[in-house]
Homo-oligomer: A and B are copies of this chain.
Amino acid sequence: VVVVGAGFAGLAACQVLATEGRHAVEVVVVDRHSYNTFQPLLYQVATAGLNPGDIAYPVRSYLRSHENVSFRLGEVVGVDLDKRQVVLAEGEQLSYDYLVLATGATTNFFGVPGARENAHAIYTMEDAVKVRDRLAQALEQAASFGPTGGGLTVVIVGGGPTGVEMAGALAELWSLEISTSFKNLEKSAARIVLVEQLDRLLAAFDQPLSRYCEQALWQRGVEVMLGRSVKEVRPDRVVLDGDEEIACKTVIWSAGVSSGALADSMQVGKTKGGRLAVEASLCLSGHREVFAAGDIAGATEDGGVLPQLAQPALQEGRHVGRQILARLSGEKETAFSYKDKGIMATIGRRAAVAELPSGVKLRGTLAWLAWLGLHIVFLLGLRNRLAVLLNWAWRYLWWKRGNRVIAGV
């Protein structure tokens, strides 16, 4: 079995194949990085609340105890479905009996002119580090030359969980830095604008939670613009519908993800957004030895495509692992069924929203504590958990003396 991608979905599939399939399969995991990224906290790396190392976990350490799983560093550039081979960037081929595609997605700029060139995504670790460096640079430039021409203005495009969390964390970072390290800057010079095309934030949540979130962001100084779309992104400004312009040197793009290059290169059925169309058991029609899981897979539930989040990825990965083992032992395949564990998003210190499948809706401190706890639990590795705890204690308990954790590099 070749598993392409060591994210939530790929590693979940490995876990099943390594434990339940210990004597049945030989697994090779391929990823272009040697580490797994805990994507739900990338925005905290981008806002200098966490170190990159705190949310990266070596794939080899994760797989260490499993004798039937090995790791291969490399970028998969294509799949030869007929020869049953994946093609690596180095020109090498790996043959498979079963293939798990879990390479994730890439940021979707929806064809907005200038967005790809001038806006920053926060989907990968490299993205997050670039955003962090850009924000640090913006502060230093404003300190040296004044916050002219939107130098301290950040426009965040997309009011889903990523955009909301980024806006909240950035508001805290700006406010902390300006009150401590950059005392010569005026707080009013630092603008954060969150632009959302729909008429409310967090469309996946209940209406009252969306409103709470909007208010909490305004309270933190974020200008929330609803029902507005971005027409163009230029190096020094964002052009909205109606040709309104916002002078701005930093644009964060959190409007959504699409499929990645690998999915694009494959001549198979796709869903809307370019994700791989899958059967109920998550294999591709016509190539039933190939499975897809995570952001690349267009798994459906009740007729709708599942959101590109951690929980669907984990569950799909596990399901795929079990299907492969079922096939090998001649058991019947089962259809994937998503078990909704709820959704949550955090705005900042003591402000978050959560919606549980039981219908319980949380907001404020309680939701925030639940968010803290769950993210610590789901992080890979005890050392990372302790390091994140340490950084959060710094950030949230000793707020006033909080340092930027990372200072460049």
Across the interface, name the chain B residue whose C-beta is closest to A58: B407
Given contacts A34-B408, A383-B390, A409-B126, is CB(A403)–CB(B61) below 8 Å?
yes
A66-74, A232-240, A305-313, A332-340 - interface stretch: A66-74
Q: Can you list 22 A-B pairs, Cβ within 8 angstroms, ordered by A?
A: A33-B407, A34-B136, A35-B407, A52-B409, A53-B405, A53-B407, A56-B406, A56-B409, A58-B407, A60-B180, A60-B181, A61-B403, A61-B404, A71-B143, A72-B144, A73-B143, A125-B409, A126-B409, A381-B403, A383-B394, A383-B403, A390-B390
Q: Is A182 an interface residue (CB 8 A)?
A: yes
Separation in Å of the A289 CB from the closest CB of chain B? 24
Q: Is A328 an interface residue (CB 8 A)?
A: no
Task: Kindly list 4 other residue pairs between chains A and B, CB separation below 8 angstroms, not including A58-B403, A387-B390.
Answer: A51-B54, A53-B406, A125-B408, A383-B390
Contact pick for A383, options B182, B391, B409, CB 8 Å: B391
Q: Give Cα A180–Cα B405 distance, bound, in whole angstroms.
A: 30
Q: Give Cα A293–Cα B90 distance, bound, in whole angstroms.
A: 49
Residues of B within 8 A of A53 (CB): 51, 53, 405-407, 409
Q: Is A129 an interface residue (CB 8 A)?
A: yes
Q: Is A386 an interface residue (CB 8 A)?
A: yes
Q: Is A57 an interface residue (CB 8 A)?
A: yes
Q: Is A140 an interface residue (CB 8 A)?
A: yes
Check A64–B126 contact: CB distance below 8 A.
Answer: no
Given contacts A53-B51, A72-B144, A383-B391, is CB(A181)–CB(B61) below 8 Å?
yes
- A interface bracket (residues with beta carbon within 8 Å of B): 35 or more
Separation in Å of the A388 CB from the closest CB of chain B? 11
Residues of B within 8 A of A391 (CB): 383
Q: Is A184 an interface residue (CB 8 A)?
A: yes
Separation in Å of the A266 CB from the closest CB of chain B? 24
Separation in Å of the A128 CB from the closest CB of chain B? 9
Closest 3 CB pairs of A and B: A35-B407, A60-B181, A73-B140
Copy number in this complex? 2
Residues of B within 8 A of A136 (CB): 34
Residues of B within 8 A of A54 (CB): 51
Check B56–A408 contact: CB distance below 8 A.
Answer: yes
Residues of B within 8 A of A144 (CB): 72-74
Given contacts A125-B409, A390-B386, is CB(A404)–CB(B58) below 8 Å?
yes
Q: Give Cα A387–Cα B403 distance, bound, in whole angstroms.
A: 13
Separation in Å of the A58 CB from the closest CB of chain B? 4
Check A33–B383 contact: CB distance below 8 A.
Answer: no
Across the interface, name the chain B residue whose C-beta is closest to A180: B64
Q: Give Cα A394–Cα B184 distance, bound, in whole angstroms.
A: 41
Q: Give Cα A203–Cα B51 distance, bound, in whole angstroms.
A: 38
Q: Give Cα A354–Cα B293 distance, bound, in whole angstroms.
A: 55
Q: Give Cα A73–Cα B143 distance, bound, in whole angstroms.
A: 9
Chain A 392-409 residues near chain B, CB threshold 8 A:
394, 403-409
Q: Give Cα A403–Cα B51 distance, bound, in whole angstroms.
A: 16
Residues of B within 8 A of A180 (CB): 60-61, 64
Separation in Å of the A64 CB from the closest CB of chain B? 6
Q: Give Cα A54–Cα B394 distance, bound, in whole angstroms.
A: 14
Given contacts A181-B61, A391-B383, A403-B381, is CB(A33)–CB(B408) below 8 Å?
yes
Contact pick for A34, options B51, B58, B407, CB 8 Å: B407
Interface digits, A192-230 against B, CB 8 Å rule (1 contact, 0 not)?
000000000000000000000000000000000000000
Residues of B within 8 A of A71 (CB): 143
Across the interface, name the chain B residue whose C-beta is closest to A88: B144
Separation in Å of the A173 CB from the closest CB of chain B? 13
